[in-house]
Amino acid sequence: MSNGYQYIDLKHAYIDPISGILKNIPNLTEESDLLFFESSAVSKRLEELFSNPIKIIDSSSLLEIHRHLFQDVYEWAGKVRTVNISKDGKPFFEGERFQTGFIYINSLIAEFAKINPEQKLEIAEKLAEILDNTNFLHPFREGNGRAQREFIRLLAIQKGFHLNLNPPDNKKIYNDYMKGTIDSDLKLLTELIKGELNPY
């Protein structure tokens, strides 16, 4: 899929050498067909998580979320990428050091768990920090944004808040989320999250 990622995949672990798109479970060979199928399948799985949310314990929950969302689309759903990737010239976390990255995110989640649910600013600040680091980690070949937004939403639920960083009726929220994650702007992400944290 033409999503701007740059990486080397000599063994064709992800891209079909004939169609040039991501290998997928239904064996679709047109990018537009895969985009439509992926969007529909993931939307259905998102609805399931709204009804039966996953409890966030540590960074392994991020893998569980990705596996749930993309289980109908990619065989590698829920598995960390095996290629190093960059986007627009900015490299993401090196796969060889994933263990270190996951340990650090675990420490942030542990800190988040200790915050009093009444401390909304502190909750927003820590969620912004977790989001920023999860985005830099970028552990999956595809679907990082959707998985990390759900990860943050489920963490917010555990403090008694609704949080939607991609509402269908407000593109500014999503655009601010994108700008905040691309620029690693913790102030913007904190302000955005604080404004969108609503009592559950």
CATH code, domain carrying 80: 1.10.3290.10
* Domain range enclosing 36: 5-199
What is d(CA 154, CA 58) in angstroms, rounded to the nearest whole number?
12
User: Count of domains in the chain?
Assistant: 1
H-only helix segments in the chain: 31-51, 60-70, 98-113, 120-137, 144-157, 171-182, 186-196
The tens place of each residue's pLDDT in the chain, 200 residues long, gives 345 677 777 678 899 999 999 999 999 999 999 999 999 999 999 999 999 999 999 999 999 999 999 999 999 999 999 999 988 888 899 999 999 999 999 999 999 999 999 999 999 999 999 999 999 999 999 999 999 999 999 999 999 999 999 998 899 999 999 999 999 999 999 999 999 999 98
| Among 97, 112, 7, 18, residue whose Cα is nearest residue 56 | 112
The residues, any chain, with a CB within 8 Å of residue 13's CB and separated by 6 or more, are 82, 83
Place of tokens 């944004």: 145
pTM flag (> 0.75): yes
- The DSSP 8-state label assigned to residue 165 in this structure reads S
The DSSP bridge pattern shows strands 161-162 and 86-87 to be unpaired
